[in-house]
Amino acid sequence: MTDDLEAVYPTREDVWNARSARTAFPIPLVEGARTAASFFSAAFYGRNDVVYLDEVGVPHIMLVDIKAEQLAAMAAIYPGVTETHAEDAFAVAERMRRENRGFDVVITDPWAEGAWPVVTQHFATFAALTRRCWVTGVMADDFAEAGVPVTLEGVQSWLDAQGHSEFVAAWLKLRNSANGAYWLGLCRRRSRRDRMLARLLRPAKLLGRTRAKEVSR
């Protein structure tokens, strides 16, 4: 059984070597997260996104996709995967919203045609699950059609106009020049008090991470 799995599914190293958009994925926005939810996670075993969550050591990762087999393989590939749901992503997100679930980081990586519905009809749902940052795939054509310049300032004005000023457009980088796909990162605005606390806690967190690495060597 194990031999079969190894023969058919990629290893973590395979996925890492095939990782996409190496400079476009917003590593700084996901670093330090303790929990992450990846919706639409499985077609390429996470080479677009989950492999980066694994790389920065997110300890609890939840995956949602309709591809059950790939999800099972990913749970074997990534030690941080602690929960998987082989169901419709919108239904799972809605259910988790009702359950008041929250994740430091939420990633949504639908196919191109799903990108606009995610940030329009389903914005409130994915936003409700986001404690810190939400990283989502967007298409330049969709923004162009809506008359939104594909710049951080353009996206921020659009967010503000839609009543989503609780988010800052923090990241926007082209991930595929062939189809105009971007990674967009939206982060919750923090109060002055939160920012001060984060600055005070930073040295302790870094120390903790160094220790954890030493233990695992």
- 130 counts as binding ligand SAM under rule CB under 6 A: no
Rounded to the nearest angstrom, the gap between the alpha carbon of residue 124 and the centroid of all alpha carbons in its chain is 16
- 66 counts as binding ligand SAM under rule CB under 6 A: yes
- 135 counts as binding ligand SAM under rule CB under 6 A: no
Q: How far is the CB of 155 from ligand SAM (least distance, A)?
A: 20
- Residue 182's CB is within 10 A of a number of other CB atoms, namely 22
Residue carrying structure tokens 């690495």: 213
- 122 counts as binding ligand SAM under rule CB under 6 A: no
- 65 counts as binding ligand SAM under rule CB under 6 A: yes
The site map against ligand SAM for 17-56 (x = CB under 6 A) is -----------------------xxxxxxxxxx-------
Q: How far is the CB of 156 from ligand SAM (least distance, A)?
A: 25
CA separation for the pair 151, 176 (Å, rounded): 16
- 111 counts as binding ligand SAM under rule CB under 6 A: yes
The 3-state DSSP class for residue 26 equals coil
Cα-based torsion angle of the residue sequence 161, 164, 165, 170 in order, rounded to the nearest 10 degrees = -100
